[in-house]
Amino acid sequence: METSTITKSAASERAVPFSGSESLKRKAKELFEMPLLSLVQQAAAVHQEHWPEADVQRCSLLSIKTGNCPEDCSYCPQSARYATEIENHPLLDVDEIERRAKMAKAEGSSRFCMGAAWRKPPRGKQFDDVLEAVRRVKAQGLECCATLGLLNAEQARSLKAAGLDVYNHNVDSSPEFYSKVITTRKFEDRVATLENVRAAGLEVCCGGILGMGEEVEDRESLIAFLASMNPHPESVPLNLLVKVDGTPLAEKEDLDPFELVRAVAVTRLMIPQTRIRLSAGRMNLSREAQALCFVAGANSIFSGEKLLTTPLPGDSFDDRLIAEMTGKTGKSHGGAEPN
């Protein structure tokens, strides 16, 4: 099994397990404990220093293969283990992916992301099709991102050679909390893939999900881990749990939106140069809460009607929100840096 071989060798060479340094955890804790107003003011100042253009990048994400995933991620309606109402479909035809990329560009996205519900990409025609899809997306002049599950070093290099810019692979939560939401792979499996992605010369998009029942300490530890990555991820998606009927986390209590604002601000202060993306869960946030996230340092969103299988506010909502936040049209102004 190629994945576990990579994992074992990567894990055995690592002196410190995947928990970020103690000093970074302490720093995250201090920041999380600040009064919200002071925290947001500090984060806004750092944000302005590093992102003077004050833009909001918008990205589109297409599920190119939906559902029937063998993994057991407790939050995910695409796991074959849970009875959910999503419509599964096999890998989309490359022509259809190209058509959707053209539509996303016409609607203002500067980046096109493709997601497939796999534990890891299968060898053979399906992976070859993904490589061809990457080439066609790039031919549109779009930045191209993919999230396909665990990658070995050879797959990462093949994606890079096809033109892929960025690979998304979230660590989901803290190293300490990870096994409470996923048992079919380990935190270190995720880290091994991130190492393969970086070694192939791809940019890294890596973040997590808040509101899965974790403690504040887990949010501190998650951000400390992200801040311990060297180099830092070029982008950090912060998701709020979307509770989907049939999944084990369907009944979790809603997280206070201020906790997301805090997480955005702490991420901005600890990783000043990353794009922070509001991702899943925006449907449950008011416009005002989203605006506060932008003040605290978020500067990217997934836009459109859907994020893989869960709903997004939609293009007209995003057009208006971005226009009000940035004074620009909300169309076609992705940032200087992808993701």
- Contact residues for ligand SF4, defined by CB under 6 A: 69, 71, 73, 76, 78-79, 117, 149
Pick the closer one to ligand SF4 by CB: 81 or 333. Answer: 81
Catalytic residue among 113, 144, 206, 293: 113
Pick the closer one to ligand SF4 by CB: 163 or 248. Answer: 248
Please confirm, yes or no, whether 76 is among the known catalytic residues: yes
Catalytic residue among 58, 59, 76, 144: 76
Sign of the CA dihedral running 318, 324, 325, 329: positive
What is d(CA 205, CA 170) in angstroms, rounded to the nearest whole number?
7
Phi-psi bin for 281: left (phi > 0), alpha (psi -120 to 50), beta? left
Rounded to the nearest angstrom, the gap between the alpha carbon of residue 174 and the centroid of all alpha carbons in its chain is: 15
- Minimum Å gap between C-beta 221 and ligand SF4 is 20
Pick the closer one to ligand SF4 by CB: 226 or 308. Answer: 308
What is d(CA 77, CA 48) in angstroms, rounded to the nearest whole number?
38
Please confirm, yes or no, whether 277 is among the known catalytic residues: yes
Please confirm, yes or no, whether 205 is among the known catalytic residues: yes
Pick the closer one to ligand SF4 by CB: 149 or 297. Answer: 149
Question: 208-210 and 300-302 as β-strands: parallel, antiparallel, unpaired?
Answer: unpaired
- Minimum Å gap between C-beta 149 and ligand SF4 is 6
What is d(CA 79, CA 271) in angstroms, rounded to the nearest whole number?
32
- SS3 string, 30-41, reads HHHCCCHHHHHH
- Minimum Å gap between C-beta 182 and ligand SF4 is 7
- Minimum Å gap between C-beta 116 and ligand SF4 is 8
Please confirm, yes or no, whether 144 is among the known catalytic residues: no
Catalytic residues: 69, 73, 76, 113, 145, 205, 277
